[in-house]
Amino acid sequence: MPESIRVEVVYPLPQKQEIFSVNLPAGATVRQAIEASGVLQKYPEIDLAKNKFGVFAKLAKPDALLRDRDRVEIYRPLIADPKEVRKQRAAEGKVMKKGAGEGE
């Protein structure tokens, strides 16, 4: 087993993706990677108690163990509920369809 591992910590923003590479001791956790990366100092809006995290797009807990070359992802909260957005789009689509045949 290697004594140290190298992982990426990724924080996606609307315009770009911030990627931090860190070397950690083997057996490090998601939380340790995030803290070591410096992302919390650069983006103070990240809250380890509220934000969700993942490793290669699979949700992970802050105490999950990492392996060499893992990619830790910090997810931002959703601005809109996807279910509500779909309902609104469906309602707008029904209104447009009703009005489409009236002028013929």
DSSP 15: S
| Domain annotation covers residue 100 | no
Largest CA distance in the chain: 75
The predicted pLDDT at position 86 comes to 80
| Domain annotation covers residue 53 | yes
Number of domains in the chain: 1
The predicted pLDDT at position 87 comes to 79
| Domain annotation covers residue 36 | yes
Lowest mean pLDDT among 4-8, 50-54, 81-85, 99-103: 99-103
Give the DSSP letter string of 28-61: -BHHHHHHHHTHHHH-TT--TTTSEEEETTEEE-
| Domain annotation covers residue 96 | no
Render pLDDT for 2-48 as a digit per residue (tens, 0 to 9). 699 999 999 999 899 999 999 999 999 999 999 999 999 999 999 99
User: Which domain CATH number covers 51?
Assistant: 3.10.20.30
The predicted pLDDT at position 104 comes to 47
| Domain annotation covers residue 42 | yes
Burial of 101 (0-12, 13-18, 19+ CB in 10 A): exposed
Range of the domain at 61: 4-78
| Domain annotation covers residue 84 | no
The predicted pLDDT at position 29 comes to 97
Render pLDDT for 49-69 as a digit per residue (tens, 0 to 9). 999 999 999 999 999 999 999
- Structure tokens that stand for 50 in this block: 């509220």
| Domain annotation covers residue 97 | no
The predicted pLDDT at position 11 comes to 96
Sign of CA dihedral 24, 38, 11, 44: positive
| Domain annotation covers residue 98 | no
Report the C-alpha gap between 63 and 88 in whole angstroms.
38
Q: What is the C-alpha end-to-end distance of the chain, expressed in Å? A: 74
